[in-house]
Amino acid sequence: MPLRGKNIVIGITGGIAAYKIPLLIRLLVKAGANVQVIMTEAAKAFVTPLTLSTLSRNPVYSSFVSEAGQWHNHIALAHTADLILIAPLTANTLADLAMGKAENLLSAVIMSAEAPVYVSPAMDREMYRYGAVRENLSKLKSFGFHIIPPEEGELASGLSGQGRMPEPETLFAIIRSHFKQTQALKGKKVLITGGPTYEPIDPVRFIGNRSSGKTGIALAEAATQAGAEVILITGPTTCLPGNPPYTVVPVESAGEMYQAVKKHYPESDILIMSAAVSDYKPVDVKSSKIKKHSARLNIELEPTPDILAEAGKMKRQGQINIGFALETDDEKKNALDKLKRKNLDMIVLNSLKDEGAGFGYDTNKITIIRKDGQEKTYPLKSKHEVARDIISEISHLV
Ligand code: C5P
């Protein structure tokens, strides 16, 4: 019963394929899902709100304000969703989402959403091939959207080619398998670290690094979607969502991160250390701001605890530890050494040599090396997709 009690938001935009959506809604409601329809004004020419509200057993929303003058809170709608599907997705709404335009309720909900968003683009063959459409679709992919490619076949224009929205049964199967897949880490406790650490020098200064924290957040999202109970211990980041469906433990320094990992590690099944932990910290933290002088200033540094290596020593039977390696030279050899030295089950290697990979980017290119020597290299992908690949690899180990 993967769909029972799930909140599914269906977004409908103005394309002829909208006629298939009432059938999809019927399948979802029959499977026990709670369906909320949001449609654009253009979609009303293809399917009526009355049909949709009757089948979904919920009012249909299309504008920010109802006829009775009530505000439809897009933030609340976005936050209660377990999954959002836009079907059909027109070239027009696709362009709005790629550009970040929140002109109607549907795009505002998508932009406030934390739930996975699936889109089913449907348009004529030539439109689907058009350069800007291709570009907008790859943008959405890099934002973490799941794209359901249109099928080949007869199109409303009388032409045939790629552009058809899949049948309602196919869309239903995609939604159901999303929730089935998400059981891969059910019952598992996953501890994730992310972000940089800040090592104080005096009350206003610190030693830090360029980590954005995005990888840790994407991993926490992917592990939660896979059914795990997640704790994310993160260094300073501005990228956390407003209301995350996992526990966040904010820390600043490597020492604080070490204490938090020591506290939560014993009852965790899986540890993923994606944090960019500072290797050194000032020996002596000044209690007042260091004054400027003309002479040179030396700050003596001492090593921070290697959190992952310490966790490797504490590891009990059945626990799985995963580390990251950001290497500039001799990448594989160094990653393998680290895997052994820190008693890891898997290491994720990202190289600074790869364009678009590493700190600050929204994309990454990784190689996963397992303890048994098995190795897999992935193409450049969004950090969300990379996180899903890592979680899927981990689910083979549990
Ligand atoms: O040894 P190196 O810093 O290259 O190893 C990287 C891996 O070790 C990452 O998974 C990182 O989170 C972890 N690490 C740690 N504590 C440190 C330094 C790195 O847990 N002090």
Phi, psi of 10 (to 5 degrees): -110, 120
Are 378 and 310 in the same domain? yes
Predicted local distance difference test score (pLDDT) of residue 66: 78
Residue count of the chain, please give it.
Answer: 398
- Which atom of ligand 1 is least distant from the CA of 275? 12
Are 291 and 337 in the same domain? yes
Token pair in block for residue 232: 């994310």
Whether the CB-CB separation of 381 and 348 falls below 8 Å is answered with no
Name the domain count of the chain.
2
- Which atom of ligand 1 is least distant from the CA of 326? 4
Are 136 and 284 in the same domain? no
Q: Which residue, of 181, 216, 233, is where some domain finishes? A: 181
Are 218 and 169 in the same domain? no
Predicted local distance difference test score (pLDDT) of residue 360: 66
Q: Which domain holds residue 241?
A: 189-395
User: Which of these, 275, 152, 151, lies nearest to 208 by C-alpha position?
Assistant: 275
Exposed, middle or buried by CB within 10 Å (0-12, 13-18, 19+), for 23?
middle
Query: Which residues form ligand 1's pocket by a CB distance below 6 Å?
Result: 254, 273, 275, 277, 279, 304, 306-308, 323-325, 338
* CATH assignment at residue 30: 3.40.50.1950
Predicted local distance difference test score (pLDDT) of residue 328: 81
* β 206-207/160-164 pair status: unpaired
Predicted local distance difference test score (pLDDT) of residue 181: 67
Q: Which of 58, 73, 92, 209 is catalytic?
A: 209
Are 177 and 261 in the same domain? no
C-alpha 70 – ligand 1 centre gap (Å): 52
Are 102 and 196 in the same domain? no
- Which atom of ligand 1 is least distant from the CA of 308? 20
Phi, psi of 264 (to 5 degrees): -95, -20
Select from 261, 281, 307 the residue to mutate for testing ligand 1; criterion: most ligand atoms less than 8 Å from CB.
307
- Which atom of ligand 1 is least distant from the CA of 347? 10
Are 236 and 363 in the same domain? yes
Which pLDDT tens digits describe the chain residue by residue (398 residues)?
789 999 999 999 999 999 999 999 999 999 999 999 999 999 999 999 999 999 999 999 998 887 778 888 778 888 889 999 999 999 999 999 999 999 899 999 999 998 899 999 999 889 999 999 999 999 999 888 999 999 988 888 787 888 899 999 999 999 998 887 668 899 999 999 999 999 999 999 999 999 999 999 999 999 998 999 999 999 999 999 877 889 999 999 999 999 999 999 999 999 999 999 999 999 999 999 999 999 999 999 999 999 999 999 999 999 999 999 988 888 889 999 999 999 999 999 987 777 777 676 778 899 999 999 899 999 888 888 899 999 999 998 99
Predicted local distance difference test score (pLDDT) of residue 67: 74
Report field, pTM of the whole predicted structure over 0.85: no
Select from 251, 264, 272, 308 the residue to mutate for testing ligand 1; criterion: most ligand atoms less than 8 Å from CB.
308
Are 207 and 289 in the same domain? yes
Q: Which amino acid is at 133?
A: V
Catalytic residue status for 73: no
Residue 314 placed within a domain: yes
The CA radius of gyration of the chain, in Å to the nearest whole number, is 24
Are 73 and 124 in the same domain? yes
Could you give the CA distance from residue 63 to residue 335 in angstroms, rounded to a whole number?
52
Exposed, middle or buried by CB within 10 Å (0-12, 13-18, 19+), for 222?
buried
Are 215 and 90 in the same domain? no
C-alpha 299 – ligand 1 centre gap (Å): 22
Q: Whose CA is nearest to atom 9 of ligand 1?
A: 324
* CATH assignment at residue 365: 3.40.50.10300
Are 176 and 217 in the same domain? no
C-alpha 216 – ligand 1 centre gap (Å): 14
- Residue 295, SS3? coil
C-alpha 338 – ligand 1 centre gap (Å): 9
Whether the CB-CB separation of 116 and 85 falls below 8 Å is answered with no
Predicted local distance difference test score (pLDDT) of residue 358: 67
- Which atom of ligand 1 is least distant from the CA of 261? 20
Residue 2 placed within a domain: no
Predicted local distance difference test score (pLDDT) of residue 355: 74
Residue 1 placed within a domain: no
Phi, psi of 272 (to 5 degrees): -120, 110
Predicted local distance difference test score (pLDDT) of residue 77: 83
pLDDT in tens, 157-168: 787 888 899 999
Q: Which residues pair with 98 in a beta bridge?
A: none
Are 304 and 173 in the same domain? no
pLDDT in tens, 178-203: 887 668 899 999 999 999 999 999 99
C-alpha 307 – ligand 1 centre gap (Å): 7
C-alpha 256 – ligand 1 centre gap (Å): 15
